[in-house]
Amino acid sequence: MGNLGMMEILLIGIALLIFFGPSRLPELGKSLGKGIQEFKKASRELTDSVKEDVTADKDKK
């Protein structure tokens, strides 16, 4: 998880519990997971599109 240590992760967890409450944490985690998944999908699609364009340009030359 980068430079986050166990203490920082624990503090973030406690802050999330205080702000959102224990009943909303699963919903929050699910939404965050979906957002990350969509971001990765869009990133992959953009990368593939750029690769196709570069390949098409090389083929034209």
Residue boundaries of the structural domains of the chain: 24-61
Summarised one tens digit per residue, pLDDT across range 1-60 is: 468 899 998 999 899 999 988 899 899 889 999 999 999 999 999 999 999 888 877 777
Q: How far apart are the first and last CA of the chain?
A: 44
Q: Alpha-carbon distance 9 to 42, whole Å?
A: 28
Q: Give the number of other Cβ atoms within 10 Å of residue 24's Cβ.
A: 13
Structure token digits, residue 33 = 């997971």
pLDDT at 61: 66
